[in-house]
Amino acid sequence: MEYPTAPIGGPAAWLGADMARRTDWVETFTPAELAEIEAAVAEHLNSGRAMGEITPETFRLPTLAPRLTRILHDIQHGRGFVLLRGFDVAGRDIEESAIAYLGIGAHLGGFRSQNAKGHLLGHVKDLGLDIQNPKVRYYQTNKELEFHTDSCDIVGLICLKTSKSGGGSRIVSSVAIHDRMMRETPDLWRALFNPMPTDRRGEIPPGMLPWFEIPVFNWFQGELSTIYSGQYIRSAQANFPEARRLTADESAAIDRLDELAAEMSVEMEFRPGDMQFIHNHQILHSRTDFEDWPEPEKRRHLLRLWLAPREARVLPPVYAQRYGDISVGNRGGIVVKDTVLRFTLEPA
C-alpha cells in the first residue's frame, strides 16, 4: 500500500468558504456560443441521427469547442468542477435540451451507462420510490444525498426544472479533506486507505459479489483518487453479514470524513439550464433534501451524464472491481448481465 508522504495541496485542495467568494468556476455562454449550440441541435435533428451518434465531430462547435477543452483541463487538473450557465431550457422541449446537453458532454468525454438498465442519459427525479428497498438509488427520491462519488471519471448534470424548495447541490474537495485528515487524525486518515465493502445496490456485474472493496483514498502514480459512498458502505455492513466488518478506526474515519465534507463544502443553487460537471476522483458531491411542486409538470428534474474523457489519469488496478475495464476513455459505468445501452427521455 502506498501513501502520500505530505499534504497534496494545489488548486484541487480548495475550501468551500473560499470557493463561495469566487466566481471563476461559473462559465457563462456567449451569444455566439449559444448560436453554435442552436445550429448544432438543428443539424442533428435534420440529420435523423440517433442520440448515440452524437460525437464532437457530428456536434460541431467551432468556437465553443476550444473553450470546452480548456474547461476539461480545469476539471481534471485544476479545481475539479465547473458550472456552465446561460443555456435556455424553458423555450424548448426535453429532446432539444437533451441533444444540446449530450453534444456539449461529448466534447468532454464518451457516454457511460449509469445503471443496470443501461441508461446513458440519466434522469434525477423523485419517482416516489421506497428508500428502504435495497435496490432503490437515492437520486430516485427527494431525500438528502450524503457526500459521495459516482462510478465514472466525470459526472454532469443539467437542470431542467427546480424544486419548490431545497435540493441544493453541494460539492467538496476530497483532496482538501485528505490533507486535513492527514494533519489532524493520521490514524483515521490511514484507515481510509483500507478496502471498504461497498453495497452495489443490486447492480451486480457477472462474477462479482453484491459489494465491491476499494479503499476510499487511493494513491497511485503520484495522484490521489477518491471513491466513496458512506451510505453504501454502511448498508453493506447492515445487509451482507459475510462482508468484512469495519474496524473501529475505519468506522470513525468515515464518520469524520462525512463531518469534514459538510464543514468544508460549498453549495450552489441550480438555475434552469445550468450545467454542472465535476471530476469524481477529486470531488465529492451531495444534495440537500427538497420539497417538490404538487403539479407533475413543474417537478424538479435534472438530466445526468457519466463521461469518460479520452485523456485522463491512470487509475489503480483495484478500480476494476467497480469500473470494469479501467482503460482511459473506456471505463466507468454500470453494466450487468442483461444491460442494453440506450437513451431515454422518460424517467424510469
Question: What's the rounded Cα separation, in Å, for the pair 322 and 231?
Answer: 16
Residue 94 included in any domain: yes
List pLDDT tens digits, range 105-148. 999 999 999 988 899 999 887 655 444 555 545 555 555 579 99
List pLDDT tens digits, range 228-241. 999 999 999 999 99
Residue 145 confidence (pLDDT): 78
Nearest partner of 303 among 92, 133, 144, judged by Cα: 92
Residue 136 confidence (pLDDT): 47
Question: Of 337 and 279, which is predicted with more confidence?
Answer: 279
Which grid cell is 250? 475505519
Nearest partner of 282 among 78, 71, 5, judged by Cα: 78
Question: What's the rounded Cα separation, in Å, for the pair 329 and 315?
Answer: 12
Residue 128 confidence (pLDDT): 55
Three-state SS across 15-79? CHHHHCCCCCCEEECCHHHHHHHHHHHHHHHHHCCCHHHCCCCCCCCCCHHHHHHHHHHHHHHCC
Residue 159 included in any domain: yes
Segment among 61-65, 153-157, 206-210, 284-288 with least mean pLDDT:
284-288
The domain tally of the chain equals 1
Cα–chain center distance at 208: 23
pLDDT above 70 as % of the chain:
91
> Which amino acid is it at 75?
I
Residue 39 included in any domain: yes
User: CATH number, domain at 20?
Assistant: 3.60.130.10
Residue 347 included in any domain: no
Residue 116 confidence (pLDDT): 86
3-state SS class at 110: strand
Residue 4 included in any domain: no
**CA–CA distance from 323 to each of 76, 147, 164, 219 (Å)?**
18, 19, 36, 17
Query: Is it the case that residue 11 has pLDDT exceeding 60?
Result: yes
> Which amino acid is it at 235?
S
Residue 130 confidence (pLDDT): 45
Residue 132 included in any domain: yes
The size of the chain, in residues, is 348
Q: Which residues contact 206 (CB under 8 A, 6 or more apart)?
A: 336, 337
Query: Is it the case that residue 167 has pLDDT exceeding 80?
Result: no
Q: Which domain holds residue 110?
A: 16-323
Dihedral sign (CA 89, 148, 279, 346)? negative
Residue 64 included in any domain: yes
Residue 2 included in any domain: no
Per-residue pLDDT averaged across 193-218, rounded?
95
Residue 52 confidence (pLDDT): 92
pLDDT above 90 as % of the chain:
78
List pLDDT tens digits, range 272-322. 999 999 999 999 999 877 556 577 767 778 999 999 999 999 999 999 999
Residue 346 confidence (pLDDT): 81
